[in-house]
Structure 1
């Protein structure tokens, strides 16, 4: 099943329909109870926050797609929240690199925190017929202590509770249980490897989505049909189909379709290239081309047919190399500046990202867990002769030993 989406069904992206570009829920042909506007006007910082998230989303997609074959499954929102929370512990060039990579430019800590808070509270409230849950959490290894200012901001802006645990393995186990609970079992175990012995802190985000199609597919019409893989091989796979109830866009480079969930705040946009591979399209897709697609979406003719594979995919990615390539390498080196995380010098060790997506005739479920792992920066070794020792006094050039002995009790 992992190869089914590598060709035609390029990206199933869960998108916030801002109702300002292209086909929105208020366009002709959509039901009267569709949402036509956000519950309030967005502030300038909130608007920039959404733009920052979308810039980061496309940058992350381009970077990961360009270095991988097969499926690429991401929740840029989850990654942004996990790194945004982590960024509160950074300073200096490390903070600047993270700000730029996440799309925030030169915005202040107060502004980015407020935007994350508002996004976290707004997204779940937009469409009561669609479930969105966003959770954050912190785990620190005893006896290390979380910085009080960092902890206060994590609680205030990210609603992130903190736990102090005894060992790296207990920390891993706790995060896995937490992620499983906050994703309704879709991500049962995000951390599957051996924890690093110098683990200091874990910072995690979980996003869960469950939405039913506004216009559902009839399961009786689902039938096995040809699906062309990126390798050129053809397989037979269950394809859902229906008439109308979607928006579409097409140009010489690609075709796109948008299907609404619930009352229309959320949708899935599926894009396939006219020629070449979906991976190549994802690797070049920038904000301008994405905007062209979204603005070009128009309600399709009610007689138009849409065919979409029924599928269930999941995957785990290590994003540290991608994030370094995107512009934040310092955070992963001994030169990292994280004075506001714990009372020890730390650097980032990994950014583990697990995503699962299910699409069927009823709708879609999707979940993601992102875990940032911080480890203690290796310090120059200290040599404490605080136990019995042997000593020599020698002449270095000739090597002559002048004195030798054993000190078992320095008081004598």
Structure 2
């Protein structure tokens, strides 16, 4: 082999071996923030802020070879089950006439990072609440790392980013192993910040704002004296419909409220082939995003002789998985309200009701993070906008640690979403439910 060919072979080998880069993509909008605080700041070990610095391991300068990423269905099923339970608890404490919209994936990721520092009965309680029983901590972390990579590659015309960060009060020492895991598996950015500085909340809020494309502007109002750590997850999603709605078909139509009253509202209309399912209780349709439909917007409309309460009584992981297998391509007409809404909720009571009460008490054991830590508040904020072009959504969570078969073609369906409905945004590749909501009065 002559020298020129040999050089070419070497160059080709080196390019294949070291030149593979993993491209990033982005999808819709959601953000999640976890705030961690301490009941007694004086009991936190302030002697070695070096633990934080030691955990700042530099990333490899050479791109890693591409590898096949697998999806752990145990984690996805656990997250979805937790999401439906959380949604049910939130419903109990909200007026039936109010819109609700949450990102269970965002809350789950934020609490999963926190879970890495839990021990003893606190860890067991969190595992039960988060539906992580039967999975070891290494399995959970590895599964989240893989899931993040899968979710962030949704296809064309769809953007999805998942970002994590830890904000540590200046001078506070945290367990190096905890910090390492959040960086290695959750790609969390770790920052020392003087919580006494009046600009500290703005610094954290600006990170959330940047990572939710400005849809969540503020998750932290003030930093309490006993708070020493904030764990933050931010998810941003923006997707264009595979088939956009024609704006010339958008018009004012009546929308019937739970009270029986009706209001004129802007409604989008479209005819086409959709994945569709119906039974005695509801009609449901899947509206895909992008060129390959990896992510879809699901609308569940109760029948005229039924209502949302009946639907929610049957909204469980088992039923959800069963319903997902029943969707088939069918021609039909869909009229859907154009809407935009934001939502704000404190999740303390809901999480306590689901079994995490100890994590909010002085019996909490977060020794894997530091000494004498407890969760003081879990807040969640979301935003969603649905229009003719597609959907944009955002969410923020703060934890203060203080198919087509051959058969006779059915008649085209007609689905007029002119009354309260349930909706969800689902990653069809992994099965992850990214968002879910109850829209009783579109704004």
**Same-fold call, TM cutoff 0.5:** yes
**What is the number of equivalent residue pairs in this alignment?**
333
- The match for 1:367 among 394, 402, 411 is 394
- Structure 2 equivalent of residue 292 of structure 1: 322
Q: Deviations over 1:271-312 (max 9, x none)?
A: 1222444255335411122123211111121xx210110011
Q: How far apart in 1 are the matches of 2:293 and 2:220?
A: 34
Secondary structure at the counterpart of residue 247 of structure 1: strand
- Structure 1 equivalent of residue 312 of structure 2: 282
- Structure 2 equivalent of residue 62 of structure 1: 88
Q: How far apart in 2 are the matches of 1:128 and 1:89?
A: 37
Q: How far apart in 2 are the matches of 1:325 and 1:161?
A: 32
- Structure 2 equivalent of residue 206 of structure 1: 234
Secondary structure at the counterpart of residue 117 of structure 2: coil
Contact preservation (8 Å) 1:200, 1:346: no
Contact preservation (8 Å) 2:231, 2:398: yes
After superposition, where does 1:142-181 map in structure 2 within 5 Å? 142-167=170-195, 170-181=199-210
CA root-mean-square deviation: 1.9
Q: How far apart in 1 are the matches of 2:199 and 2:140?
A: 32
Contact preservation (8 Å) 2:154, 2:160: no
Contact preservation (8 Å) 1:317, 1:354: yes
Secondary structure at the counterpart of residue 326 of structure 1: helix
Contact preservation (8 Å) 1:356, 1:366: yes
Higher relative contact order structure (alpha carbons within 8 Å, sequence separation ≥ 6): 2
- Structure 2 equivalent of residue 107 of structure 1: 135
Contact preservation (8 Å) 2:70, 2:146: no
Secondary structure at the counterpart of residue 327 of structure 1: helix
- The match for 1:220 among 240, 248, 256 is 248
Is residue 124 of structure 1 aligned with residue 152 of structure 2?
Answer: yes
After superposition, where does 1:6-405 map in structure 2 within 5 Å? 42=70, 46-69=72-95, 70-167=98-195, 170-192=199-221, 194-262=222-290, 263-274=292-303, 275-278=305-308, 281-282=311-312, 284-301=314-331, 304-342=332-370, 344-375=371-402
Q: Deviation at 1:171? A: 4.1
Q: How far apart in 2 are the matches of 1:280 and 1:352?
A: 28
Larger Rg: 1
Q: Deviation at 1:174? A: 2.3
Structure 1 runs of 4+ with >6 Å offset: none
Q: Deviations over 1:370-403 (max 9, x none)?
A: 121112xxxxxxxxxxxxxxxxxxxxxxxxxxxx
Q: How far apart in 2 are the matches of 1:320 and 1:348?
A: 9
After TM superposition, the score normalised by the length of structure 1 is 0.77
After TM superposition, the score normalised by the length of structure 2 is 0.72
Contact preservation (8 Å) 2:69, 2:150: no
Structure 2: runs of 5 or more not aligned: 1-27, 30-66, 403-443
Q: How far apart in 1 are the matches of 2:208 and 2:343?
A: 14
Contact preservation (8 Å) 2:201, 2:223: yes
Contact preservation (8 Å) 1:130, 1:210: yes
Q: How far apart in 2 are the matches of 1:288 and 1:106?
A: 18
Q: How far apart in 2 are the matches of 1:282 and 1:189?
A: 31
Contact preservation (8 Å) 1:78, 1:368: yes
Q: Deviation at 1:184? A: 0.5
Structure 1: runs of 5 or more not aligned: 1-12, 15-38, 376-412
Contact preservation (8 Å) 1:215, 1:245: no
Q: Deviation at 1:60? A: 1.3
Q: Deviations over 1:227-277 (max 9, x none)?
A: 011221100100000001322111111111111000210001111222444
Q: How far apart in 1 are the matches of 2:184 and 2:384?
A: 30
Q: Deviation at 1:115? A: 0.8
**Aligned pair in 2 of structure 1 residues 237, 108: CA closer, same or farther (>3 Å)?**
same
* Deviates further, 285-294 or 154-163: 285-294
